[in-house]
């Protein structure tokens, strides 16, 4: 596990053995390390030679203006895009090119910017799909509901009910997802991702399009998930205020490049970041 | 009074015919739900399954005509025959193999294409399978007998004759087809509602991206769905093959599945069943009551006219999902 050393390419290398956050949480070693990632679509470079790491237990944000390549970055991590150059290291091993479902099976769950739920299924069924990879018994015993399958299904249900309680969606348990309002859909999507008991949770704009109250709820859930389950979270967000309150370390992207990396305070005072957000003439 | 009994006999026979239509429609629905592909080849798959089953049972040498023509040999049959149960299992294996080949050679390369492209691919597949069936097992009409009872049931005829004074003519094969279809549907429902793979199948049917994100392999699900559709085709092939012989026209029963689907909705398993029953009963009763007035042969067109009328008033079918576009 030599790569647990701090990565020289990361802007603000955190100490190799982790660090303690302002609110006193212990952050561990490197869980995921992205090295020199470059992603092109034809002639367009969506991500230009970006490196950063994600540490165990932290909330890591990726911010940047529209079209900065944030979602592309998340899609690289979750396997939806395969970068032309660069390496993804996870838990000390280099990851080969993987399909999205293989990444999911590694323990990396995600939500989508535009919500990808199973509209025809109930909330409960949607969340249960998150448990698919935790189900081991054969399909015959599942269909006939006996032995290991029954125990497994009950264990899965218990876990899912815990998550439902946790996210306060008990009263819509049996509602088909298609009928839910936007804010609740976002919450169900988070629940489904949590049901997989991921090691890394990727959230693509979890608060986009929400009103203030919904944003506050969602922020609380993100913090609670990190706190109670110890889940490492990588999130993309537009709203600077939200990001600064939530995250331990922030990567700032602009036009596919990384222009800042560090604690919220460091990022806030970075001139390049200020320029990117307030807008200056590009030459 | 006799007229009423006769009408109810027609009704019951209609129900049984409807079950047979439902069996074919079921295969369409399965694939359409899971992958959005209207599988034109479903009927030919039933024919191919039935041909393979007969071939295996009789111990035919596959491709014997081709081999004989190429090498001047005179092969036709192995020296064995295979029992129905083993042969059905082997044929199911062939259908799974076929599903894998279709996924690897056709579907995998068309991921993300327009539905019309996939539909055209299945048309090609239909002609390919038709030819393959001929080359493998020969083009002659075959009889299929897997040991299902056939002919008019004497028990029912005598019992009803004693009760009502009118003997109902009901084919034992139809009764068995109904029982088997019911079991098949029950098994399919149990599979899709209670198993991990079934849940994954429903997930893929709903949203591909979301399915990937929870760790479902689309390839695996497609192979699985095509295998199940292949198995349903095999069951339909056995029933229709036993009833009217294994021959090319078997693949045309797929055309009867179309009105069934329009009636029941392309995405609903209960829809396929109810649609099949309505068409079956409808066309028999129509032939019985109206047929004599218009010179008969109404069964050929009644189903399509009924489906057209349905399209006008309920385009999504009885059980189909109503599409509401948010603007």
A104–B213 CB contact, under 8 Å: yes
Alpha carbons A237 and A59: distance in angstroms, whole number: 12
Q: Which residue in this structure is represented by tokens 């995998």?
A: B108
Alpha carbons B264 and B136: distance in angstroms, whole number: 35
**CA nearest to B225, candidates B90, B95, B53, B127:** B95
Radius of gyration of chain A (CA): 19
A192: chain B residues, CB-CB within 8 Å: 214
Q: Does A185 touch chain B (CB under 8 A)?
A: no
Write out residues in chain A with pLDDT < 70, as ranges.
1-17, 136-147, 279-283
Q: What is the ipTM of this complex?
A: 0.81
User: How far apart are the CA of A30 and the nearest CA of chain B, in angstroms?
Assistant: 23
Which H or E element spans position B188? helix B172-194
Alpha carbons A237 and B284: distance in angstroms, whole number: 63
User: How far apart are the CA of A67 and the nearest CA of chain B, in angstroms?
Assistant: 21
**pLDDT above 90 coverage of chain B, percent:** 31
Q: Chain A interface, mutation test: which of B186, B197, B210, B221, most A Cβ atoms within 10 Å?
A: B210
Q: Which residues pair with A52 in a beta bridge?
A: A34
Q: Which residue has the higher pLDDT, B121 or B250?
A: B121
Q: Which residue has the higher pLDDT, A177 or B251?
A: A177
A119–B206 CB contact, under 8 Å: yes
Q: Chain A interface, mutation test: which of B34, B215, B220, most A Cβ atoms within 10 Å?
A: B215
Tell me the torsion sign for CA atoms A115, A116, A122, A123: negative
A143–B190 CB contact, under 8 Å: yes
B206–A142 CB contact, under 8 Å: no
Cα B222 to its chain centre, rounded Å, is 18
Q: Give the pairing of strands A30-41 and A44-55.
A: antiparallel
Per DSSP, helices labelled H in A35-92 are: 70-77
Q: How many CA atoms lie within 13 A of B185 on its CB side?
A: 21
For residue A2, the model assigns a pLDDT of 38
Domain A2-107+198-278 is of which CATH architecture?
3-Layer(aba) Sandwich (3.40)
Across the range B266-276, mean pLDDT stands at 88
| Res. B75 pLDDT band, cuts 50 70 90 | confident
B187–A121 CB contact, under 8 Å: no
For residue B94, the model assigns a pLDDT of 96
Tell me the whole-structure pTM to 2 decimals: 0.82
Q: Which residues pair with A176 in a beta bridge?
A: A122
- The answer to whether residues A136 and B221 touch, using CB atoms and an 8 Å cutoff, is no
| Res. B7 pLDDT band, cuts 50 70 90 | confident
Structural domain spans, chain A? 2-107+198-278, 122-196
**CA nearest to B220, candidates A88, A190, A153, A139:** A139
For residue B65, the model assigns a pLDDT of 83
Alpha carbons B317 and B274: distance in angstroms, whole number: 11
Of B209, B215, B321, the CB nearest to A112: B209
B189: chain A residues, CB-CB within 8 Å: none
Cβ-proximal residues to B255 (8 Å cutoff; 6+ apart), any chain: B43
A132–B200 CB contact, under 8 Å: yes
For residue A9, the model assigns a pLDDT of 40
Alpha carbons A63 and A205: distance in angstroms, whole number: 10
Across the range B104-118, mean pLDDT stands at 86
Cβ-proximal residues to A43 (8 Å cutoff; 6+ apart), any chain: none
Is residue B155 over pLDDT 50? Answer: yes
Three-state secondary-structure class, residue A36? strand
Q: Which residue has the higher pLDDT, B131 or A6?
A: B131
For residue A103, the model assigns a pLDDT of 93
Q: Which residue has the higher pLDDT, A148 or B149?
A: B149
Is residue B226 over pLDDT 90? Answer: yes
Chain A, nearest residue to B194 by Cα: A143
Q: Chain B residues with CB-CB distance to A under 8 A?
A: 187, 190-191, 194-200, 202-203, 205-207, 209-218, 321
- The answer to whether residues B236 and B181 touch, using CB atoms and an 8 Å cutoff, is no
User: How far apart are the CA of A95 and the nearest CA of chain B, in angstroms?
Assistant: 16
Chain B, nearest residue to A124 by Cα: B199
Q: Does A118 touch chain B (CB under 8 A)?
A: yes
Alpha carbons B24 and B112: distance in angstroms, whole number: 27
| Res. B110 pLDDT band, cuts 50 70 90 | confident
Span B156-191, pLDDT tens digits: 888 888 888 788 888 888 888 889 989 998 888 888
Alpha carbons A95 and A89: distance in angstroms, whole number: 6
Q: Which residue in this structure is represented by tokens 């030679």?
A: A49
| Res. B324 pLDDT band, cuts 50 70 90 | low
Cα B156 to its chain centre, rounded Å, is 28
B206–A192 CB contact, under 8 Å: no
Domain B2-151+171-313 is of which CATH architecture?
Orthogonal Bundle (1.10)
Alpha carbons A203 and A233: distance in angstroms, whole number: 7
For residue B278, the model assigns a pLDDT of 93
Structural domain spans, chain B? 2-151+171-313
Which H or E element spans position A110? strand A108-110
């Amino acid at each position: 596990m030599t790569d647990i050393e701090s990565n020289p390419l990361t802007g603000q290398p955190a100490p190799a053995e982790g660090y303690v956050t302002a609110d006193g949480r212990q952050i561990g070693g490197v869980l995921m390390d992205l090295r020199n990632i470059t992603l092109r679509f034809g002639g367009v470079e969506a991500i230009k030679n970006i490196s950063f790491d994600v540490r165990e237990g932290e909330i890591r944000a990726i911010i940047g203006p529209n079209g900065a390549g944030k979602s592309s970055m998340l899609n690289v991590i979750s396997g939806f895009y395969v970068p032309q150059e660069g390496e993804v290291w996870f838990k000390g091993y280099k990851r080969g090119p993987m399909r999205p479902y293989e990444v999911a099976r590694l323990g990396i769950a995600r939500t989508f910017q535009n919500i990808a739920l199973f509209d025809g299924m109930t909330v409960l069924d949607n969340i249960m799909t998150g448990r698919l990879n935790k189900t081991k018994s054969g399909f015959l015993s599942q269909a006939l509901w006996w032995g290991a399958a029954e125990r497994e299904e009950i264990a899965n249900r218990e876990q899912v009910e815990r998550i439902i309680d946790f996210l306060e969606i008990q009263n819509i348990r049996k509602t088909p997802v298609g009928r839910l309002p936007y804010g609740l859909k976002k919450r169900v999507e988070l629940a489904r991702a949590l049901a997989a008991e991921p090691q890394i949770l990727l959230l693509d704009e979890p608060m986009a399009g929400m009103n203030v109250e919904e944003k506050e709820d969602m922020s609380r859930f993100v913090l609670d998930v990190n706190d109670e389950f110890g889940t490492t979270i990588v999130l993309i967000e537009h709203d600077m205020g939200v990001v600064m309150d939530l995250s331990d370390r922030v990567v700032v992207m602009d036009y596919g490049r990384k222009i800042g990396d560090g604690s919220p305070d460091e990022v806030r005072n970075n001139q390049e970041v200020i320029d990117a957000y307030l807008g200056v003439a590009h030459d | 009074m006799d007229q009423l009994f006769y009408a109810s006999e027609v009704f019951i026979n209609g129900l049984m015919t409807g079950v047979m239509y439902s069996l074919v429609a079921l295969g369409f629905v399965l694939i359409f739900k899971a992958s959005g592909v209207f599988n034109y080849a479903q009927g030919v798959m039933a024919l191919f399954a039935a041909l393979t089953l007969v071939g295996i049972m009789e111990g035919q040498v596959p491709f014997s005509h081709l081999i004989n023509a190429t090498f001047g040999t005179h092969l036709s049959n192995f020296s064995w025959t295979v029992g129905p149960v083993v042969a059905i299992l082997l044929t199911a294996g062939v259908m799974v193999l076929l599903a894998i080949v279709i996924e690897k050679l056709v579907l995998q390369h068309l991921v993300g294409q327009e539905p019309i492209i996939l539909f055209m691919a299945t048309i090609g597949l239909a002609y390919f399978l038709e030819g393959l069936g001929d080359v493998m097992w020969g083009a002659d009409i075959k009889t299929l007998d897997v040991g299902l009872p056939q002919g008019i049931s004497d028990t029912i005829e005598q019992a009803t004759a004693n009760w009502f004074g009118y003997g109902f003519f009901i084919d034992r094969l139809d009764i068995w087809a109904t029982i088997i279809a019911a079991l098949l549907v029950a098994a399919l429902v149990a599979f899709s509602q209670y198993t991990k793979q079934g849940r994954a199948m429903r997930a893929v049917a709903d949203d591909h991206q979301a399915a990937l994100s929870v760790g479902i392999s689309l390839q695996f699900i497609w192979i699985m769905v095509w295998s199940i559709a292949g198995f349903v085709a095999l069951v339909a092939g056995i029933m229709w093959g036993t009833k009217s012989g294994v021959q090319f026209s078997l693949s045309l029963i797929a055309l009867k599945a179309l009105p069934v689907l329009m009636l029941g909705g392309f995405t609903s398993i209960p829809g396929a069943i109810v649609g099949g029953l309505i068409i079956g009963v409808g066309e028999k009763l129509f032939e019985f009551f109206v047929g004599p007035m218009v010179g008969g042969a109404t069964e050929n067109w009644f189903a399509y006219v009924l489906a057209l009328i349905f399209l006008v008033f309920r385009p999504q079918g009885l059980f189909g999902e109503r599409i509401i576009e948010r603007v």
